[in-house]
Amino acid sequence: MDHAAPPPDAHVTEITPTAPVAAASHGGRAKCLQRLVRLEMPLPRTVALSFATVHGIAAGRMPDIGALVAGFDPGALLCVRPSSGDPDWGGPGAILNIGMTDARCRALAPRIGAEAARALYLRFVESYALHVARLDPDSFEGRDAGQPDALKAALAAYEDEAEEPFPQDPVVQLSEVLRSMARAWEGTTARILRQARGAPADAGLGLVVQEMALGVGPGECGSGVLQLVDPETGLPQITGRYLSQSQGREALERGLPSLYLGRDPRGPSLEELAPQAFADLKRHAARMRERLREEMQIEFTIEDGRVHILDGIRVPRSARAGLRIAVRLAEDGVISRQEAVMRIEPRAISELLHRQVAPGAPRDVIGRGVAASPGAASGRIVFTAADAQASAARDEPCILVRRETTPEDIRGMHAASAVLTERGGMTSHAAVIGRGLGLPCVVGASRIRFHFERRQIACADGRLLREGDTITVDGTTGEILAGSPAMVEAALDDAFTTLMDWADAHRDIAIRTNADTPADALTARNFAAEGIGLCRTEHMFFEADRLTPMREMIFADSPEDRQEALALLLPMQRGDFVELFRIMEGMPVCIRLFDPPLHKFLPSDRAGLRDLAEALDMAVSDVTRRVESMGEYNPMLGLRGVRLGITVPEIYDMQARAIFEATLDASRDGAPVVPEIMLPLVSARREVEIVRARIDAVAAAVRAERGRDFTYRLGVMVETPRACLRAGDIAQHVHFLSFGTNDLTQMTYGLSRDDAGRFMQAYVAEGVFREDPFHVLDHEGVGELVKIGADRARHARPGITLSICGEHGGNPDSIAFCRAAGMDYVSCSPFRVPVARLAAAQLAIRDALQN
């Protein structure tokens, strides 16, 4: 190797310890290689081409390649590798063995053997033909290097297709390789692809040209990769692969996997073949870990027992391994705890909490929708909640497929492994409940055609799936897959707990949970939620034993009859609240009073109407008429929320009593409870005044009956635009305001949260919305209303507690908004609590670092 003469051309930079190479101008690989050079790793000579140079090459401005080639050893073969800002953005693959010609092949034969030389030449001709000359793949793929005429045939095929002989000038070869890689990067498809992976529009490509250390010749030779951790678990374990020249020929020809580094029954390990090289590699990897502050994968060759390091990349890793690697690096003092917290994407945490389709598993995608609740599950298709329950009773996993779910489907959802709906968006019923239960869910799968009457679904590619067929719902990606691919289990291990503890040390906004049931509350406590920010009480009325008194209450002709039905519900509600208070052990519990339109509790099909007629001892026709008369044209803007509290006040009276009695019961033998009562869908101050007077009266009655005192906090859910604007007025009557950004988004945009899924993908793809506003809070519109509301409330009542309890509470970008708006806490579904804890900690750390 000739290190003496740097290429005279100014556009190319030899990577030396002091060369002006930066990730921002030359890409991550070039910078990393320079770090390896500084660590005095045995690296072959390497030259970096900057983003500007490569851009120039694509535009036809080729630097002096003759000079570049002249800087390398005259007998050397070269390789070119991409060096972009982020390896995840993709880019052209590496091209090896550049410089291989008829003459070089002959010259190499005495040193490495004629067969090995021909094999190298053949591989180069093939990759040049495919990736540089872009010839027909059928003519160049799959030739057996062991066949004596394989090289000749490939060269003839090249000449035939390209209508010129294979280039024999290394300068021409390298120029063409560089040109093809530069152009591939600038192509439209590549640009769209990398932008989809988060690359900026003007992301540049650098290239590195490296002399090849072939790993062929006398003595122990070969090539491989090595790392010090298991890429799936992140646990310390030397893994990788090594293809020895002496052992590898056979393995390669038979298409067997290459030899493993560890002891492998199929052949000797690297440790046995080249003990010194193995020890050197381990030493190099450990040094890289310490100095580059990262677990690195080394790409290496061995020549006559001597190690050459070609490249070092961050070990590719699963979400689970990423977390353990960060924790171990911090525990070993390589990075700080704070840095470990910053290294984990909150999204990765969500992956850890659920089963996922195994990363490499084949995916037979039959449809797509909104990824409404993460995790994946496989099961047989069922079309009704009752069938889901029957399936669960048989211990048979099932996927509940519905047009959209309603509260009546909740038990079926509990029984199903996952849910798929034709309609809906991020905050539709199936999505909210799915996230609450940790149940994978895809909604708004509009490209699949659902034939509910025939119990079939028709996929876009024409396939027809029937009830009983197995599908997989991947709620992380929004894909629906045929069959049941391999899965990886959720991984809540000690590394997860450790990292979350470190995160909490930095966090400055509280995280509560949305929990309706004791099971939700327990899950959220396991994830260290600091209270319940939203308990949607209506979900408690769908239990089988409650639905009938609920319906009797709805059908009651007089307040007295209504009271009677409610009296049956009171002890059940009280029991619910006692259990929640006990689980939360004195942490705040915010209970939202009844919200949905009453007719949601009434049956919609014939069988249900008949059952109800039987229960109420009425004629089916009478029941049907009554149900129809309660229908509304636009129920979500109709008689619901606090409007029910004012027009049918007995329901809120019963709920307030249940809350106060439960407060006293739970406080008697447990931590003292100060319940929070929240009124939904408020739009006017007077609504609060009226309901507050009744709740105060119930509180006074319970105090008098029980002879014991308690306090409670009253709050309003701000989910209408008018409530934001009148927040100053409303705040004077309450202790807290919680922004219900699901309804607030729906009402601000005039966009149905249950129907938006149908066109949301098109809207985001067209750039009408930057993101689904039900998923990521719209800072500009909805956010402005939230800010106005928060400011006016604080102005009218300094010290008022402010929070958010819409689904946005679990979204990192939305959490950033809430934190900046000075909210006291965010509340999100239980499985998003850890995501929110990490995201909030990262915001605080980022702020601290900037100040």
Return residues touching Mg ion (CB under 5 A). 719, 740, 743
- Which residue has the closest beta carbon to Mg ion? 743
For the chain, give the longest Cα–Cα distance.
Answer: 105
Q: Which is nearer to ligand PEP, 120 or 826 (CB)?
A: 826
What residues contact 111, with CB distance under 8 A and at least 6 apart? 217, 218
650 binds, among Mg ion, ligand PEP, none (CB under 5 to 8 A by kind): none
Please say if 779 is a catalytic residue. no
Q: Compare residues 203 and 723 and give the one whose CB is closer to Mg ion.
A: 723
Helix (H) or strand (E) holding 249: helix 245-253
Q: Mention every residue, 6+ apart, whose C-beta is less than 8 A from residue 138.
A: none
Shortest distance (Å) from residue 680 CB to Mg ion? 6
| Minimum distance from residue 742 beta carbon to Mg ion (Å) | 5
Helix H segments across 59-149?
Answer: 65-70, 102-112, 114-127
Compute the distance between CA of residue 197 and CA of residue 266 in angstroms, rounded to an integer.
39
Classify 468 in phi/psi space as left (phi over 0), alpha (psi -120 to 50) or beta: left
Q: For residues 634 and 673, is the Cβ–Cβ distance under 8 A?
A: no
CB atoms within 10 A of CB 37: 20
Q: Least distance in Å: CB of 538 to ligand PEP? A: 8
Q: What are the strands of the beta sheet with 464-466, ordered from one edge?
A: 449-451, 456-458, 464-466
Which residue lies nearer to ligand PEP by CB, 50 or 427?
A: 427
Nearer to Mg ion, 373 or 514 (CB): 514
How far apart are the two ends of the chain, measured CA to CA in Å? 49
| Residue 741 interaction partner, one of Mg ion, ligand PEP, none, beta carbon < 5-8 Å per kind | ligand PEP
Residue 420 and residue 480: Cα distance in Å, rounded? 8
Q: Which one, 220 or 719, has the nearer CB to Mg ion?
A: 719
Beta carbons of 14 and 45 less than 8 angstroms apart: yes
> Residue 488: enclosing H or E segment and its boundaries?
strand 487-488
Question: Residue 577: what residue type?
Answer: F
Query: Does residue 590 have an active-site annotation?
Result: no
Nearer to ligand PEP, 311 or 595 (CB): 595
E strands, 343-406, in order: 356-357, 365-368, 370-373, 376-382, 398-402
Token code pair at residue 137 = 């793949």
| 438 contact, one of Mg ion, ligand PEP, none, CB 5-8 Å limit per kind | none
- Collapsing DSSP to helix, strand or coil, 84 comes out as strand
How far is residue 653's CA from residue 640's CA, in Å, rounded to a whole number?
A: 16
Q: Which residues bind ligand PEP (CB under 6 A)?
A: 427, 432, 534, 536, 595, 719, 740-743, 805-806
| Shortest distance, position 840 Cβ to Mg ion, whole Å | 23
Among ligand PEP, Mg ion, none, partner that 71 touches (CB below 5 to 8 angstroms by kind): none
Asked whether the beta carbons of 589 and 673 are under 8 A apart, the reply is: yes
Helix and strand numbers (H, E) in the chain are 34, 31
> Smallest distance, Å, CB 653 to ligand PEP?
21
| Partner from ligand PEP, Mg ion, none binding residue 520, C-beta < 5-8 Å depending on class | none
Check 26, 284, 429, 506 and give the catalytic one: 429
Q: How far apart are CA 125 and CA 101, in angstroms?
A: 9
The C-alpha atoms of residue 430 and residue 435 are separated, in whole angstroms, by 8
What is the rounded radius of gyration, in angstroms, for the C-alpha atoms of the chain?
A: 33
Q: Kindly state the smallest distance separating residue 827's Cβ from Mg ion, in Å.
A: 13
Select from 204, 553, 498 the least CA-distant residue to 323. Answer: 498
CA distance to 449, 538, 604, per residue, from 408 (Å)? 23, 12, 10
Shortest Cβ distance from residue 546 to ligand PEP (Å)? 18
DSSP code string of 205-223: EEEEEEE-----SSSS-EE
Residue 447 CB, nearest approach to ligand PEP (Å): 26
Q: How far is the CB of 519 from ligand PEP (least distance, A)?
A: 18
Complex with Mg ion: residue 431 or 500, whichever CB lies closer = 431
Instruction: Name the nearest CA neighbour of 316 among 299, 328, 332.
Output: 299
Check 105, 459, 805, 828 and give the catalytic one: 805
Ramachandran region of residue 12, left (φ > 0), alpha (ψ -120 to 50) or beta? Answer: beta
User: Looking at this protein, which amino acid is placed at residue 342?
Assistant: M
Please report how close the Cβ of residue 188 comes to ligand PEP at its closest, in angstroms. Answer: 40
536 binds, among ligand PEP, Mg ion, none (CB under 5 to 8 A by kind): ligand PEP
**Do 340 and 323 form a contact (C-beta atoms < 8 A)?**
no
Cβ-based nearer residue to Mg ion, 707 or 750: 750
Give the nearer residue to ligand PEP in terms of CB position, either 301 or 741. Answer: 741
d(CA 686, CA 176): 77
Nearer to Mg ion, 26 or 592 (CB): 592
Residues annotated as catalytic (active site), given as ranges: 429, 805
